[in-house]
Homo-oligomer: A and B are copies of this chain.
Amino acid sequence: MAKLPSDIILNGCCIEEMKKLPDECVDVVFADPPYNLQLKDDLTRPDQSRVDGVTNDWDQFESFRAYDEFTRAWLSEAQRVLKKNGSLWVIGSYHNIFRLGTAVQDLGFWIQNDVVWVKSNPMPNFRGTRFTNAHETLIWAAKSPKGRPTFNYHSLKAANEDVQMRSDWTLPLCTGAERLKKLGAKVHPTQKPEALLHRILTATSEPGDVVLDPFFGTGTTGAVAKRLGRRYIGIERDGTYIQAAAERIAAVNRPKNEKDLAPIPAPRKAPRVGFGQVVEAGMLRPGTTLRCAKGKHRARVKADGSLAAELIEGSIHKVGATLQNAPSCNGWTFWHYERAKGSYAPIDELRQAIRARPS
């Protein structure tokens, strides 16, 4: 197979351009599609025919239908090019997010979360007839119910005062120096803040991953991808936007040190160590008594790396679960050994010592 092009901007309709890409070749799709539901003038059907102005119910239905057709067309291609364990992100407001979400579900994506971008500095409602429109909605979905997207849980938690990252993200609009301008006018009407893409990409991708943005605009996705050591493929119809995006991304520095980009490793991915290895290594002798943190439960270490309690024997996990009458148990943190006279520590310490040994 030819090498997948990346770190490029393709000029054209996103549906046509995606069709040229092979199956399952990108790790993340981020899409900020046009809203256009009210501004019927520039809404076109997938076949490029125009939708007429809207005044009555039939036309309204017709325009929703055209938007839905367009949505399903590009989402289908996005699904095809997305890897099995890839992530789809779409963003929208109440004008279009319900159409997007319904299409995402109907096509068989599996929603992981919806996320609200709460704007710390939204535009006020000048007429006083509605609530200040202070948020937009993102949908994070897997390619299918079986997909297992990357999720850097521990990174997010560490970055969030050591509590889980929630589904509401408070971030400012894209303003100031970050906002691209030309002759004093903004280049793109809905440029997204880099902080938003930063969080999305650190959460659901890894360095080296390929991020596809079918509505590239002025290239926020590309700029953040480059800064975070990800690769990008942008698709955009408008030449003005492409030029602005290209200049912008060229000015971004790639990170010097790969280590600064790596997410905190997930304990689940650490090499597997069996309790038998602890016994083999002589860290615990057969016959040693282990106890739970409070000393309520006890069991003896057996030479084969299993545990024996009064009426039961088996793995450190099984025995712990049975004694507690629980469906499961992490024996590594449940069982403690006497590290010094009267001082107990979880046997997970011993596992860590084995993992730290040079291999």
A174 to B324, CA, bound (A): 32
- Contact across chains for B94 and A98 when beta carbons are under 8 A apart: no
Given A158-B314, A255-B287, A132:B165 Cβ within 8 A: yes
- Contact across chains for A327 and B172 when beta carbons are under 8 A apart: no
Interface residues of A in 275-308 (CB under 8 A from B): 275-277, 279-282, 286-287, 300-306, 308
Given A194-B282, A287-B255, A287-B256, A130:B159 Cβ within 8 A: no
Whether A76 sits at the interface, judged by CB under 8 Å, is no
Q: Mark A123-151, 1 if CB is under 8 A from B, else 0.
A: 01100111111110101100000000001
Find chain B residues with CB under 8 A from A124 CB: 164
Instruction: Mark the stretch among A11-19, A78-86, A100-108 that contacts chain B.
Output: A100-108
Find chain B residues with CB under 8 A from A317 CB: 161-162
Find chain B residues with CB under 8 A from A42 CB: 327
Count the copies. Answer: 2
A94 to B98, CA, bound (A): 10
- Contact across chains for B167 and A280 when beta carbons are under 8 A apart: no
* CB of A153 to closest CB in B, whole Å: 4
Closest 4 pairs between A and B when the two form their complex, measured CB to CB: A159-B276, A159-B305, A98-B101, A155-B304
Q: Which residues of A contact B (CB under 8 A)?
A: 42, 44, 48, 57, 60-61, 64, 93-95, 97-102, 104-106, 108, 111-116, 118, 120-122, 124-125, 128-135, 137, 139-140, 151-168, 170-172, 178, 194-195, 198-199, 202-203, 227-229, 255-257, 259-264, 271-277, 279-282, 286-287, 300-306, 308, 313-315, 317-318, 324, 326-329, 357-359
